Amino acid sequence: MKRLFYFVLLLVSVSAVHSCKDLADEDGNPLLDTNTNTGLNGKRALYREITDSDTLATYYYNGLQMSKVTTRGASVRDVQYSGDKISRITFKGFLDSDNNGTLDLDSTSYEQQFTYDGTARLESISEKRSVYKRTPAIPPTTPAGPWVLLTKTQKLYKLVYSSTTGKLSKITMMTGDEVPGAIFGFTDYSETTYEYSGDNVSKVVRSYGPIMSGGAFGTATEKLGYEYTNYDAQINPYTLLPFAYKISFILSTRYGDDKSLMLSPNNPERYSITDLSVPIPDPDLHSTNYNYDPQTYMRKGFGVNYIYKPL
């Protein structure tokens, strides 16, 4: 009986050690809002996004500046600055290009350069991207093959802001593949427009199509609409991230515009995705109930838990 008592005591002690570890960041600082009785008065940073089964993102900081983000598939985004402005983001890892919830088997790397106008607003993003594939392993004897370059592309994003409100109103993108021995040229485009309800994004429409000879945008071949409604009056966790990073993340995949809720100061309880290129659009609807901490920061929504750390 005494042995059983000491065994149970040992289990409790080990559990306590792991619980304490889970409640601290990589520097040993206590994490915030891990239960309903905690909160923070003062500066905070978004530290981690988790679901019941996975860690979606972990944010690292150098002082007050976000310096690195790790995401699923051991993927890494390194963030560099010029003064207080993001100047470059490099990514190596795996993306969910078709937004189906599963990471691509192909590996992706890209580098984005950021340019600002005379008022320090983000003006353009230039990107060079490479995608690699490999022959999968055949257990138990055949190992996976080496990574081989599949495609290389260049992209140029240009941002436009409303002359009356100053809010982001449009992003145009031009892209093209690099072909060995050929002169590079942009072959395809996308155009994204933004509408607002107050300061919150209410509607995003993104169209895709070919670039014609002479550089004109041709008729769109694909058009997707995203609508956000039923906003609360509480604080969106992504307000703690740099604007340039949020734009970069949204644009990192072809169908990442559903993450445009990152651009709002508050949290929509409902959003929809609609294929506007079909004769009778059928919206894909998503809704949630939020949980907040005592300082009104959103703590959980759409199945994702948000964990903060002090700055």
The pLDDT assigned to 15 comes to 40
d(CA 270, CA 273): 11
Q: What is the pLDDT along the chain (311 residues), one digit of tens a residue?
A: 444 434 333 333 434 333 333 455 555 555 655 444 455 667 899 999 999 999 999 999 999 999 999 999 999 999 999 999 999 999 999 999 999 999 999 999 999 999 999 999 999 999 999 999 999 889 988 898 999 999 999 999 999 999 999 999 999 999 999 999 999 999 999 999 999 999 999 999 999 999 999 899 999 999 999 999 999 999 999 999 999 999 999 999 999 999 999 999 999 999 999 999 999 999 999 999 999 999 999 999 999 999 999 98
* Domain contains 67: no
pTM over 0.85: yes
* Domain contains 111: yes
Tokens of 169: 């109103």
* Domain contains 171: yes
Burial of 28 (0-12, 13-18, 19+ CB in 10 A): exposed
Domain that holds residue 263: 77-291
Q: What are phi and psi of 153, to 5 degrees?
A: -130, 160
Amino acid identity, residue 103?
Answer: L
* Domain contains 235: yes
* Domain contains 214: yes
The pLDDT assigned to 1 comes to 45
The pLDDT assigned to 10 comes to 39
Number of domains in the chain: 1
The pLDDT assigned to 7 comes to 39
The pLDDT assigned to 260 comes to 98
With tokens 């490099």, the residue in question is 90
The pLDDT assigned to 60 comes to 98
Of 12, 24, 73, residue with least CA distance to 48: 24
How crowded is the C-beta side of 182, counted as CA atoms within 13 Å? Answer: 9
* Domain contains 12: no
* Domain contains 7: no
Amino acid identity, residue 244?
Answer: A
* Domain contains 35: no
| Residue 163 backbone zone (phi > 0: left; psi -120 to 50: alpha; other: beta) | alpha
d(CA 241, CA 249): 11
